[in-house]
Amino acid sequence: MDRQKSLAYFILLLLQITACNTDNSQIPLKFKAYERNPVLSPGEPGTWDELMLLAPQVYRHDSLFYLFYTASNNIGKAGVGLATSKDGFYFEKYDGNPILAPDGKGYDAYLVADAILLQKDTGWVMYFGAGELARYGPGQSISRATSSCIMGPWIKDEKPLLTTGSMGEWDAGFIFPGSIVELNDGSYRMYYTGGGDFQGEVITHSGLASSDDGITWKKYNNPATGQHPFFESDPVLPAGNNKEWDSHMTWMAFVYNTPKGFNMYYTGTTYIKGLDKSSIGFASSGDGIHWTKYLDNPVYRVEDDPLLANIRKDAVIEGSWLVFRDTVCYMYYDYGVIVGKIGVAMARVK
């Protein structure tokens, strides 16, 4: 099937999807996987992104889709890459990749990942997760880089903006950004992922930090919880109980505000027979702090993407990122470290 016929067929499938309002904070959108997934794959052997691609963050700017992704090679160092597209499906990687990479020293000596962008009058701001130590999993801090152009070059801050909690706290092991919301008063909210030892069957939660200027951040702390692991701060979307689909992890939260409050698409994970099982869930909130999980979660899972039909045992769906364009919402996501590729699904909106 050629490209034009493929896109036409996919549009017909979208017309069959029940339309949902983006401003309805209680009802999730109905997504349909793009039939020609993946939209981005690892590079050739020997390239900087040969091993896997994760955590897509996508922005519409100057009529292009800019897809920022986390990738690594077989040596293990992770950096941030960029790919662009005119239609949101066919992406070309930037020749100057990686656009942000470890420095070999300091707080980002080994890892930079999970780029979250904001456009300001003075240019662009990128928030990213950073790691100083050579180990598997996310790093211990969140920092910032700035640029006059969305494609860089990027100048990193000398120090991190937010770090893991103290020993015994729920986010003592690792921390990385999920999304940032700018409020009407000009302040910011950062939804981040935190947890303990990433190499074990760790309980991971979604937290919140607030800032007036985008530089000085303060974690949300419920004064009613005065003991570890919630003495210093509290998650706003904790993992579920042992019987729920998100019993081990709520993470990689994408949050956006609506006239009725805030909506969140997040990754929920549980362990079944030693394997991760991750899907996408939905939650809503009136204040962005107290969240209600959708009763029929998860709303998008491995079975919803035909690409994974023959590899479901090792595959996951995680890291959703939404882009609204006219009457269509694009949801980008990755397939976990085993598959290491990036896909997209779409939903019609009013």
Q: Rounded to the nearest 5 degrees, what angle is found at the Cα of 321, between the Cα atoms of 9 and 162? A: 170
- Examine residue 263 and state whether it is found in any structural domain, yes or no: yes
Task: Tell me which residue has tokens 């993470």.
Answer: 251
Question: Is 115 among the domain residues?
Answer: yes
- CA of residue 258 relative to chain centroid, distance: 19
**pLDDT band at 20, cuts 50/70/90?**
very low
Q: How many domains in the chain? A: 1
Domain that holds residue 126: 3-11+22-348
CA dihedral 80, 82, 88, 92 (to 10 degrees): -130
Q: In terms of pLDDT, which residue wins out, 176 or 310?
A: 176
Secondary element (H or E) of residue 3: helix 3-15
Among 311, 325, 235, 317, smallest CA distance to 280 is for 317
Task: Quote the CA–CA distance of 339 and 310 in Å, as a whole number.
Answer: 12
Residues 6+ apart with CB under 8 A from 11: none
Q: Looking at residue 12, what is its pLDDT?
A: 41
* Over residues 256-272, mean pLDDT: 93
Q: CA 308, CA 305: separation in Å to the nearest integer?
A: 6
CA–CA gap between residue 257 and residue 207 (Å, rounded): 17
What is the pLDDT at residue 200? 62
pLDDT value at residue 5? 46
Query: Rounded distance, CA 131 to CA 304, Å?
Result: 33
Q: Please report whether residue 17 resides in a domain.
A: no
- Residue 16 domain flag: no
Rounded to whole angstroms, the Cα distance separating 89 from 8 reads 13
Q: Is the pLDDT of residue 209 over 70?
A: yes
What SS3 state is found at 307?
Answer: helix
> In the chain, helix, strand, coil percent, each to 5?
5, 45, 50
Rounded average pLDDT over 106-131: 96
CATH number at residue 72: 2.115.10.20
Among 68-72, 148-152, 194-198, 216-220, where is mean pLDDT lowest? 194-198
Residue 252 located in a structural domain:
yes
Of 167, 177, 255, 184, nearest to 219 by C-alpha is 177
For 304-338, write each residue's pLDDT tens digit. Answer: 999 998 777 778 999 999 999 999 999 999 999 98
Residue 52 confidence class, pLDDT cut points 50, 70, 90: very high
For the ranges 55-69, 164-178, 191-205, the lowest mean pLDDT is seen at 191-205
Percent of the chain with pLDDT over 70: 91
Q: State the pLDDT at residue 154.
A: 98
Query: Mind giving me the DSSP string for 13-46?
Result: HHHTSPPB-TT-TTS----EE-TT--SB----TT
Q: What is the pLDDT confidence band of residue 230, given thresholds at 50, 70 and 90?
A: very high
Least confident stretch, 56-60, 168-172, 214-218, 312-316: 312-316
